[in-house]
Amino acid sequence: MIFGDILGQNAKKLPHKTALVYQDTRLSYLELNQRTNRLAKALLGLGLEKGDRVAVLANNCSQYVEIYFATAKDGLPIVPLNTNLDVDGLAYIINDSGANTLIFSDNYSEVVDSLRRELKTVRNFIVLGQALEGQEAYEDLLSEHTPDEPQVAVSEDDTAWILYTSGTTGPPKGVMLSHKNLISDTLSTLLTCFPISRKDIHLSLLPLFHVGGLWHMRCCFYIGGTNVLVEKPDPELVLETIQREKVTTSCFVPPMMVPIIDYPEINRYDVSSMRVMVYSGAPLPEGLYQRMKRIFGDIIIQVYALTEATGGVIMPPLMEGPWEEVKRPGSCGKEVLGVEVRLIDEEGQDCAPGQVGEILVRGDNVMKGYWGMPEATAKALEGGYLHTGDLAFKDEEGYYYITGRKKDVISSGGRAIYSPQIENVISMHPAVSEVAVIGVPDEELGEAIKAVVVLKVGRRATEEELIEWCKGRLENYQVPSSVDFISSLPKTASGKIRKVELRQRYS
């Protein structure tokens, strides 16, 4: 089975079921499949051949979903572009991928114009809007082609997506995910943790260039549910959408929930339809968790996922019982069905229960490799396992607890210190909205612990007050030696806190 088959099958089984909602657009499975097929044929009509790459620069919209399915049916790997990148960053990824087609929304027309001379391989420019000279209009292309299925022989081992990493430790790397990766991860997620049905209505908050924005959306499409898109996670728009569409499920990265939870008028909206909220990508500080729980209820599920594993790796085993029975405080669950997880120490030996080690992953969900980077691929997949760079420990029951990234571990006075535990404590202070804890150079300790804090609007706190708050709640060696207050934390487009930028700022 290939990714495009999901849509084609549901168009036959559930032709009139609402598949996708975006602003005023509501598409049934039949309508979405027909538009997708028209686009697939239009791309072939422009001369694209199986294996050609298609780059996309757009905010969340219904056409973005059509592009994902159309490229899959044609055997054209899609290269979704991070909309927060500057011109140089965009040019690097487009050129590195060798994309010969760029599809973009008209609000990025000026960016594309400035890029044009730098692009070495792009020959087709398709705009979601009114076409200018040298461009093709998306809707005009669709109108020129029939809605029947394109006849392209696509294998489950063919590359479907090339998702570029953020490149915080070097040039961005293109993660190649095959159709087998996508289908395997979808089934593992549905069978292990994500208890949804065709009645569910899923809200996609994350951008569609991010694996988290795609992960649960494709699960919802697979099961035949309804997906709702918002262009950006604006608090008022999100809350109004949940109320209007009676949204039942969503996936988020914790920092993106802060402005939603802090929205002054949040109590005006009915969010009682929500029954599952899944998060990954960053720790959920205890203070934010408690605030979310008061508003949405005890429906917040932590999972461990990453791009190189197509999404889900470790999730609460809801197949074993109800949420109240299988959840463990602070744990992201157990490895999903069909996936093997190991924890290894610095010597490569398997860790005992309670011992922190690096997470290694093996299964049909693990990427094919990095595009054009055989050495980086070999290093990442050494010994047949994906080496994630993430740290965790496992308890006697087999539940995993994430402690952070290897690169984020603070080495202070010869001790390894994991920032999420400190962030949890500080987040519980009534004046704190967000916090990030980092290590900064220190002649005596090697690294000292610094907390970088954003206060709630209208609230005050001092450095001394927050340090005193940590004493008695943390071990002495975990208490920050300094606290800085800033107006906002630097974040990626998906909402993750950019600790590398904070370390650079305070180094």
Q: Identify the DSSP state of 471.
A: B
Among the listed residues 157, 203, 152, the one whose alpha carbon sits nearest the alpha carbon of residue 184:
157
Q: For the segment 3-55, what is each residue's pLDDT rounded down to a tens digit?
A: 999 999 999 999 999 999 999 999 999 999 999 999 999 999 999 999 999 99
pLDDT of residue 167: 57
CATH code that applies to domain 28-154: 3.40.50.980
Among the listed residues 39, 109, 112, the one whose alpha carbon sits nearest the alpha carbon of residue 76:
39
Structural element, H or E, at residue 200:
none
Give the DSSP letter string of 399-467. Answer: -EEEEEEGGG-EEETTEEE-HHHHHHHHHTSTTEEEEEEEEEEETTTEEEEEEEEEEPTT----HHHHH
Give CA separation, 465 vs 417, 436, 482, 484, in Å. 22, 17, 11, 12
pLDDT of residue 77: 98
Q: For the segment 88-104, what is each residue's pLDDT rounded down to a tens digit?
A: 999 999 999 999 999 99
Measured from the Cβ of residue 46, the count of other Cβ atoms closer than 10 Å reads: 15
Give the DSSP letter string of 297-328. Answer: -S-EEE-EEEGGGTEEEEE--GGGS-HHHH--
Report the C-alpha gap between 191 and 186 in whole angstroms.
9
pLDDT of residue 492: 75
pLDDT of residue 169: 55
Give CA separation, 58 vs 2, 111, 494, in Å. 24, 11, 14
Report the C-alpha gap between 128 and 231 in whole angstroms.
14
Among the listed residues 301, 368, 379, 370, the one whose alpha carbon sits nearest the alpha carbon of residue 336:
301
Burial category of 162 from C-beta neighbours within 10 Å (exposed 0-12, middle 13-18, buried 19 and up): buried
Whether 300 contacts 293, CB under 8 Å: yes
What's the CA dihedral at 215, 219, 222, 228 to 10 degrees?
Answer: -80
What's the CA dihedral at 36, 37, 43, 48 to 10 degrees?
Answer: 120
Q: Identify the DSSP state of 493.
A: T
Give CA separation, 54 vs 30, 164, 231, 441, in Å. 24, 13, 21, 44
Q: Do domains 28-154 and 409-506 have the same CATH topology?
A: no
Beta sheet of 249-252, edge-to-edge order: 25-28, 18-22, 226-229, 201-204, 249-252, 276-279, 300-302
Beta sheet of 357-363, edge-to-edge order: 339-344, 357-363, 386-394, 400-405
Please report, in tens digits, the pLDDT of each residue of the chain (507 residues total). Answer: 999 999 999 999 999 999 999 999 999 999 999 999 999 999 999 999 999 999 999 999 999 999 999 999 999 999 999 998 899 999 999 999 999 999 999 999 999 999 999 999 999 999 999 998 889 999 999 999 999 999 999 999 999 999 998 755 567 899 999 999 999 999 999 998 888 899 999 999 999 998 888 988 999 999 999 999 999 999 999 999 999 999 999 998 888 898 999 999 999 999 999 999 999 877 788 888 999 999 999 999 999 999 999 988 999 999 899 888 999 988 999 999 999 999 999 899 999 999 999 999 999 999 999 999 999 999 999 999 999 999 999 999 999 999 888 888 888 877 888 888 899 899 999 999 999 999 998 878 888 999 999 999 999 999 999 999 999 899 999 999 999 999 999 987 666 788 888 988 988
Q: Identify the DSSP state of 210.
A: S
Report the C-alpha gap between 343 and 53 in whole angstroms.
36
Among the listed residues 107, 105, 50, 117, the one whose alpha carbon sits nearest the alpha carbon of residue 80:
105
Report the C-alpha gap between 473 and 488 in whole angstroms.
25
Q: What are residue 499's phi and psi, to 5 degrees?
A: -65, -30
Whether 269 contacts 239, CB under 8 Å: yes
pLDDT of residue 170: 63
Whether 81 contacts 61, CB under 8 Å: no
Parse the chain into domains and list their residue ranges: 28-154, 409-506
Among the listed residues 447, 501, 437, the one whose alpha carbon sits nearest the alpha carbon of residue 470:
437
Superfamily of domain 409-506: ANL, C-terminal domain (3.30.300.30)
pLDDT of residue 168: 53
What's the CA dihedral at 438, 443, 446, 448 to 10 degrees?
Answer: -30
Report the C-alpha gap between 310 and 298 in whole angstroms.
27
Burial category of 115 from C-beta neighbours within 10 Å (exposed 0-12, middle 13-18, buried 19 and up): buried
Query: Which of helix, strand or coil describes residue 243?
Result: helix
Among the listed residues 145, 114, 178, the one whose alpha carbon sits nearest the alpha carbon of residue 46:
145
Q: What's the longest Cα–Cα distance across the chain? A: 71
pLDDT of residue 255: 83
pLDDT of residue 229: 97
The one-letter amino acid code at 284 reads: L
* Rg, Å, the chain Cα set: 23
